[in-house]
Structures are given as C-alpha cells and as structure tokens.
Amino acid sequence: IPVFVLNGPNLNMLGRREPGIYGTSTLAEIGAQAREAGERLGLSVDFRQSNHEGQLVDWIHEAFEAAKGIVINPGAYTHTSIALHDALRAVALPTIELHLSNVFAREAFRHHSYVSPAATGVICGFGPRGYVLALEAIRPLVAS
C-alpha cells in the first residue's frame, strides 16, 4: 500500500541542524528507518524532502493518484501555509502531521498549525521514532 512521507524545509539539514532539538540522525537515516518500518507494516514508503512550498503542494496533489495516505512533517510551513492546508483538504487522504520536536514546548509561534485542521492526527515530540509511530498510526487508515 503506497504512502507518501513528505518533509518540508530545512529537514535536509538534520544531523547538523540544532542537534540539541532535532537529534543527530540524518534525514537519509530516518528515511531508511521509515522504509524498513513500512515493509514490516505492508506499506511502500515514498520518502521525499523539499525546501519549496509549491513542490510540497504538487506532491500532495500527486498523492491523490499515487498514494493511499500521507505522513507530512511540514517544517516551518506548518505555521505559515494555508496552501498546504488547502492541498491536504483537496486530496482528503488520511494524513498524519508529524514533528520531531514537541512544538508545544517551544516558542509560541510554533504553537499554531495550519496543517492540523486538515490532518487526521498529529504526532510530535518523539524525535525520529515519530516517523515509525506515524506509519503505525496510518496503517489501519489505509487498509485496502
């Protein structure tokens, strides 16, 4: 069962980026773990990252044809992007919003998400393990 795992801006810098907050795993390592978890769950994980909002919108549209569900870490676009909100509403697929850090324990500007109202559920604060948790969470929602 195909699932898109989409990553937004600055997540390509994982491993080097504020390791005290985001940990030392690289996005490539997290992607490998996600694909492995997917195999165990019967999900074929298409793992992608872009720094560009429009690219993420295009991938969400692509998911409408190509996937049964979406896991998305929208990075900072979480807090700014009505376009991502609208795209997720448009495709209306089961969607898990995901953050490595506990955004609610951080700056106030991270407490609001435009994505949450368009998501099925939200996972945050569990670091890279959140990707595995998100795939486990989406599994029964995409059962064919």
Instruction: Give the bridge partners for 98, in sequence order.
Output: 123
For residue 80, what are the CA distances in angstroms to 5, 8, 75, 116?
Answer: 20, 12, 10, 12
| Residue 67 or 100 having the CB closest to ligand DQA | 100
Q: Does 133 bind ligand DQA (CB under 6 A)?
A: no
Q: Does 70 bind ligand DQA (CB under 6 A)?
A: no
Q: Catalytic residue among 85, 99, 114, 131, which? A: 99
Rounded to a whole number of angstroms, the minimum distance from the CB of residue 144 to ligand DQA is 29
Residues recorded for the chain: 144
Rounded to a whole number of angstroms, the minimum distance from the CB of residue 101 to ligand DQA is 3
The CA distance from 103 to 112, in Å, is: 9
The CA distance from 27 to 47, in Å, is: 10
Instruction: Write the interaction track for ligand DQA spanning residues 109-128; mark x where CB under 6 A is met and - where it is not.
Output: -x------------------
The CA distance from 34 to 30, in Å, is: 6
| Residue 31 or 75 having the CB closest to ligand DQA | 75
Return the active site residues.
22, 99
